[in-house]
Chain A
Amino acid sequence: MTANLVSTGEWRAAPGAVTTFQVASPDLEAVTRDLANLRLADMFGQDAGGGTVLRMVWANDTPGQAGYVITETPISGDEYPALSDITPAAFVEECEMYEQFGIRPATGKPLNRIMLPPRGALDAQLPTLGRGPESEPEEVRAPHTVGGQAFEFPFGPVRQVGVESLYYGIVTSGEEVIDLYLFTWHKHRGLEWRLQGQTPEAAIFYAERAEGLSAVATGWALAAAAEAVTGTRPPEPAQRTRAVALELERLYNHAAAMAALCQSTGLTVGQSAAEIALERLLRLNARAFGHRYLFGVITPGGVTRAPQADAIRAELPAAYGEFTRAASALLATNSFMDRLEATGVLTAAQAKELGMVGPVARATGLTADSRGVPLGPYREAASVNVATATAGDCLARFTVMIAEAAESVRLIGEFLDAGTSAPTEAGMAAPLPPAAGAGLGWAESPRGEALAWLALDDAGRITRARLRPGSVRNWRGFDDACRSQNVFTDIPIIEASFWLTAAGMAR
């Protein structure tokens, strides 16, 4: 099987399909090279009787072939090939797997601290999903020379008012950002550990709160993973209900990002205008689904609530009108545009190499959007118009978000017209039979593809849950965007244009 995988390209999946291949440990390097022109969507371990199963999830973004390929490799010892040398996108997951399972690349490559605080910081060791690391991660930073003169200082985790805790180190020669590296262990809640033993229905509660600003997307990904295991298909109206909620989530996030961009550039008037749009959208969410942030809408098998379609139709034009008025005024404000243009530039090559997703990736010219993976209600809509730009700077990301908001409004109208759930059981959720197996789910969160993978036992309880919100893929590109020609005051602007969360990264 493995030889065929490499030579015949058997891995080219049918559109919308998820294909899983067993790859023996000696073949892993060759298979990874062969798959490396796909996008590495995720990599994670699973404890398996004395060893670890290493899974790599590859996304085929090619239109017409969009789907996922998963390779499973049992690792019996401590080491596996240096996958991040083949696909740099794998580096953060290599660090994470070392912390959780104690396995590391065979080259002895130095690894960084990701989820776990330094030993001795806490009274007791934190539980891990596997054996855990033998010794502390080395924490080697990227080499740099600035005429030999640079200083390094930590920033955070308590930062400016009203933002999440986030700890990063900045290396600077004075004003210019030479390097920037993130620590996320202050917000690591051990969600994947917590989900072990739970049912998918109970796990949704935590999946929504992994990254609350992507509650619908992360919940949908987990629900879809459970549905993949049990072969359940949610009723069509429920799928469209989910899609309406997902687009409403995208809309309010993009309004919030616009407000954050204004705040970071000191344009308080623009910030107020964007916040007016944001507040109207959140009130619309409460009218439509009973919660300002759309918690509690998704459940495995379908949805728990029917949307108030009339309220959405009545209020959405006005709320979106506030959004477009603020956006068009900003695009006509030179002092604002000057701060965004050529700030935080990412190239398409960087975004591809690091496996980045969402508006950040599409602003560099990449076109992948997981709504294009032809499952669920999006295939019924006239295909999603994917917004892209090429400059890869903050302005490009902003224009992509504006275009996506317009598309979200259009899609909401289409899904409402086609019919969303009515509050009768048939239209809300299909039951999930208890079934053992593994499954992958995905949804396009406002900040990019959210993935979830579940392994269930015979009683339908989770033995391994993998949550990979969109933020995880994109934080690694944040330091690239901050480097080079950018200065300190650009960092909040770049952070706003990425619109990620520390919670989604740390889980």
Chain B
Amino acid sequence: MPLWFIRGLRRGVVTTRYPARTEESARFLPTPPAFRPHVLTSQTADLLVAICPSGALRRGGDAGDGDVLRYDVGRCTACGRCAAAAPHAVTSSGVWELAATDRSVLIKKIPIGGES
């Protein structure tokens, strides 16, 4: 037992200060994508919908939304396929604190505003 005790003391505290302080290692975590509405064309939107393996992307929202990409952050696995397919239109959001108390809060409507 002394062996463990001494080694533990020598190593020191490794515990994160989160949530009181930010955690540095978090910047290497994969995060869901962000989409550029003014670059996102109808054609690109269709490509992204087809390529998402998790069903996180759909064309069209509710009545009155207009032409949007319906993006369910909850279904996203941050696999990166959409970003690889359309790097000009898709970037990393950098957001990993994603917990929601309302499921609808995770549904984002991205306007498809790009010109073909």
Contact, chains A and B (beta carbon distance below 8 A): yes
Query: Is the Cβ of A283 less than 8 Å from the Cβ of B53?
Result: no
Question: 1/0 per residue A244-282: CB within 8 Å of B?
Answer: 000000000000000000000000011011001001000
Query: Is the Cβ of B3 less than 8 Å from the Cβ of A304?
Result: no
CB nearest neighbor in A for B84: A304
Interfacial chain B residues near A292, Cβ < 8 Å: 29
Query: Is B18 located at the chain interface by the 8 A CB criterion?
Result: no
Q: Which of A112-171 contact B (CB under 8 A)?
A: none
Query: Is B22 located at the chain interface by the 8 A CB criterion?
Result: no
Query: Is the Cβ of B80 less than 8 Å from the Cβ of A325?
Result: no
Query: Is A382 located at the chain interface by the 8 A CB criterion?
Result: no
Give A296 to B14 CA distance when docked, in angstroms: 29
Query: Is the Cβ of B80 less than 8 Å from the Cβ of A296?
Result: yes
Give A270 to B3 CA distance when docked, in angstroms: 11
Query: Is the Cβ of A286 less than 8 Å from the Cβ of B53?
Result: no
Interfacial chain B residues near A276, Cβ < 8 Å: 11, 14
Give A295 to B29 CA distance when docked, in angstroms: 12
Give A292 to B96 CA distance when docked, in angstroms: 14
Q: Which of B27-66 contact A (CB under 8 A)?
A: 28-30, 53-54
Query: Is B8 located at the chain interface by the 8 A CB criterion?
Result: yes
Query: Is A332 located at the chain interface by the 8 A CB criterion?
Result: yes
Query: Is A48 located at the chain interface by the 8 A CB criterion?
Result: no
Candidates B3, B14, B30, B54; contact of A290 at CB < 8 Å: B30
Interface size on B, residues (CB 8 A): 18
Query: Is A181 located at the chain interface by the 8 A CB criterion?
Result: no
Query: Is the Cβ of A202 less than 8 Å from the Cβ of B53?
Result: yes
Interfacial chain A residues near B29, Cβ < 8 Å: 286, 292
Query: Is the Cβ of A205 less than 8 Å from the Cβ of B53?
Result: yes
Query: Is the Cβ of B3 less than 8 Å from the Cβ of A332?
Result: yes
Nearest Cβ on chain A to B32's Cβ, whole angstroms:
13
Interfacial chain B residues near A296, Cβ < 8 Å: 79-80
Interfacial chain B residues near A279, Cβ < 8 Å: 14
Query: Is B101 located at the chain interface by the 8 A CB criterion?
Result: no
Nearest Cβ on chain B to A380's Cβ, whole angstroms:
28
Query: Is the Cβ of B14 less than 8 Å from the Cβ of A273?
Result: no
Candidates B7, B28, B54, B80; contact of A273 at CB < 8 Å: B7
Q: Number of contacts between A and B (CB, 8 Å)?
A: 42
Candidates B4, B25, B79; contact of A269 at CB < 8 Å: B4
Interface size on A, residues (CB 8 A): 22
Interfacial chain A residues near B77, Cβ < 8 Å: 295
Query: Is A287 located at the chain interface by the 8 A CB criterion?
Result: yes
A286-B29, A287-B28 in contact; A205/B79 too (CB < 8 A)?
Answer: yes
**A-side binding surface: helix, strand, loop or mixed?**
helix
Interfacial chain A residues near B25, Cβ < 8 Å: 283, 286
Interfacial chain B residues near A286, Cβ < 8 Å: 25, 28-30
Which among A270, A272, A286 has the greatest number of chain B C-beta atoms within 10 A?
Answer: A286
Query: Is A189 located at the chain interface by the 8 A CB criterion?
Result: no
Nearest Cβ on chain A to B25's Cβ, whole angstroms:
5
A276-B14, A286-B28 in contact; A270/B79 too (CB < 8 A)?
Answer: no
Question: 1/0 per residue B78-95: CB within 8 Å of A?
Answer: 011000100000000000
Query: Is the Cβ of B4 less than 8 Å from the Cβ of A270?
Result: yes
Give A286 to B30 CA distance when docked, in angstroms: 8
Interfacial chain B residues near A206, Cβ < 8 Å: 53
Query: Is A314 located at the chain interface by the 8 A CB criterion?
Result: no
Query: Is A1 located at the chain interface by the 8 A CB criterion?
Result: no
Give A205 to B29 CA distance when docked, in angstroms: 19
Give A333 to B84 CA distance when docked, in angstroms: 49
Query: Is the Cβ of B7 less than 8 Å from the Cβ of A329?
Result: yes
CB nearest neighbor in A for B80: A296
Query: Is A313 located at the chain interface by the 8 A CB criterion?
Result: no
Query: Is the Cβ of B53 less than 8 Å from the Cβ of A329?
Result: no
Nearest Cβ on chain B to A17's Cβ, whole angstroms:
33
Q: Which of A282-302 contact B (CB under 8 A)?
A: 283, 286-287, 290-292, 295-296
Interfacial chain A residues near B4, Cβ < 8 Å: 269-270, 273, 329, 333
Give A287 to B28 CA distance when docked, in angstroms: 6
CB nearest neighbor in B for A286: B28
Interfacial chain A residues near B79, Cβ < 8 Å: 205, 295-296
Given A287-B28, A329-B7, A332-B3, 7 other A-B contacts at CB below 8 A? A269-B8, A276-B11, A279-B14, A290-B80, A325-B7, A329-B3, A329-B4
Q: List 13 A-B contacts (CB under 8 A).
A: A206-B53, A269-B5, A269-B8, A273-B7, A276-B14, A279-B14, A286-B30, A290-B28, A290-B30, A290-B80, A296-B79, A329-B3, A329-B4
Chain B interface residues toward A at CB < 8 A: 1, 3-5, 7-8, 11, 14, 25, 28-30, 53-54, 77, 79-80, 84
Chain A interface residues toward B at CB < 8 A: 202, 205-206, 269-270, 272-273, 276, 279, 283, 286-287, 290-292, 295-296, 304, 325, 329, 332-333
